[in-house]
Chain A
Amino acid sequence: MLLTSTADDPAWGLKICEEADLGSGTVYPILERLVDAGWATRYEESGEHPGRPKRYYYELTAVGQQAAHQAKERKPRLFGLRSATEGGAL
Chain B
Amino acid sequence: MSADEEVGEAISRAGGLAVVAVLTPILTGTAALIFLLVGYALKLLDPELAFAETMLTVGWLSGSVTAVAILGSAITLLFTALRNRPPEQDLDPEATASTPAQNARAGLRTLDFASFVAGERRSHLREEWAAVLAGDPGSGIVLSRRRRLRYALGFLWAALRMRLRDLTGPLWLPVDWLLSVESRTHGFITLAVGAQVVYIEYEDGLHALVTEGWGWCAGCGIALRLLVGRLRRIRGIELASAHDDSGGR
Contact = CB atoms under 8 A, between A and B. Distances in A.
Contact of A24 (B155, B165, B243): B155
A74 B125 CA distance: 33
Nearest to B97: A51
B162 interface: yes
Interface in A29-76: 29, 32-33, 37, 50-56, 74
Contacts of A51: 92, 94-95, 97-98
A3 interface: no
Range class of the A interface residue count = 20 to 34
Contact of A28 (B125, B134, B139): B125
A15 interface: yes
Contact of A25 (B94, B128, B158): B158
A23 B150 contact: yes
Interface string B121-143: 01011011111101110010100
Contact of B154 (A25, A33, A56): A25
A85 to B, nearest CB: 12
B151 interface: yes
A50 B236 CA distance: 40
Interface string B90-109: 01101101100000000000
B207 to A, nearest CB: 35
Interface residues of B, number: 33
Nearest to B126: A53
A28 B153 CA distance: 12
Contacts of B157: 23-25
A24 B114 CA distance: 12
A1 interface: no
Contacts of A55: 128, 131
A2 interface: no
A14 B141 contact: yes
A18 interface: yes
Contact of B141 (A18, A25, A50, A56): A18
Contacts of A14: 131-132, 135-136, 141, 151
Given A24-B151, A25-B157, A74 B243 contact: yes
A52 B131 contact: yes
A52 B92 contact: yes
Contacts of B225: none
A24 B132 contact: yes
Given A13-B129, A52-B92, A53-B130, 19 more contacts: A13-B128, A17-B151, A17-B154, A24-B158, A25-B155, A26-B154, A27-B158, A28-B154, A28-B158, A29-B161, A29-B162, A32-B122, A37-B236, A51-B92, A52-B134, A53-B92, A53-B127, A53-B134, A54-B128
Interface of B: 91-92, 94-95, 97-98, 122, 124-125, 127-132, 134-136, 139, 141, 150-151, 153-158, 161-162, 165, 236, 243
